[in-house]
Structure 1
Amino acid sequence: MSIQSTVPGGYSTYNGTSMAAPHVTGVAALVWETYPELDNVQIRTTLNESAAVLGDSISYGNGLVNA
């Protein structure tokens, strides 16, 4: 999946963990805001269990984060 990002002078398209990490972090923040009693392990488990499987974990990790 390609993600459009800002670069000096405009936009460019990238993919990989460096582009996925901010999205997953944002969803983790939403989960924590909704359930502030959860610890980091519980939030990680929630994200992993709710992710949409995209294929093998070598290529796709735990899948697509589901906000």
Structure 2
Amino acid sequence: MQNDSIILKPYMDKQSYHFDNINFKWNKIDKTDDLIFEDSDFYVYSLDFGEWGGKTWFKDK
């Protein structure tokens, strides 16, 4: 989820997709970043590798 949208970003694929919940289809979009949260102090990023695990990291502003 990003800004109330569903974004699909296959790992190792430069193409990303946005789900159109009105027409129920995936649309190609430019590459998206892994930013999932931001506040006044930090950026929070996350990646999920399915059965291989995932990672979440914090970056100071």
TM score, norm. by length of structure 1:
0.30
TM score, norm. by length of structure 2:
0.32
Comparing both structures, which one devotes a greater share of its residues to helix?
1
Comparing both structures, which one devotes a greater share of its residues to strand?
2
Structure number, greater radius of gyration = 1
